[in-house]
Structure 1
Amino acid sequence: MTDQILTLKEVAEYLKLAEKTAYKLAAEGKLPGFKVGGSWRFKAVDIERWIEEQKKRAE
């Protein structure tokens, strides 16, 4: 992934989560994102970094 901006739906699909779960994680600050006009957006590079952090925690 490049330094693109993803929607909540795209992040949910990428992580294979329900949109509701992705929304909850973002709202709780557990998934790195930001709001634009009330809609969640995510930088792809931040999601990749978050995945790597999750993998390290699981070790």
Structure 2
Amino acid sequence: MDERWLTVEDICRYLNVSNETVYKWIEQRDMPAHRVGRRWMFKQNEVDDWVRSGGASDKADSNDSDEKRG
């Protein structure tokens, strides 16, 4: 059974996050996304695997954590 492609809006609703967060995850955390023309598209199973592996976890950048320990 083929899984349908999800849009940014679909993923935002699915993960309950803003589109700004999704674009940041694509750029900074290697969120699995595929460029189709000018749009980003997603396969739900790839996103699920990425979330399970910790890709969406709140992790401070090393610079931020160093400043907090300061």
Give the TM-score range, shorter chain. 0.7 to 0.9
Structure 1: runs of 5 or more not aligned: none
- Greater RCO between the two (CA within 8 Å, min separation 6)? 1
Q: Is residue 8 of structure 1 aligned with residue 8 of structure 2?
A: yes
**Number of residue pairs matched by the alignment:** 55
Report runs of 4+ in structure 1 exceeding 2 Å deviation: 27-30
More helix by proportion, 1 or 2?
A: 1
Q: Which has the larger radius of gyration?
A: 2
Structure 2: runs of 5 or more not aligned: 58-70
* Length-normalised TM-score, structure 1: 0.75
* Length-normalised TM-score, structure 2: 0.65
**Percent sequence identity over matched residues?**
25
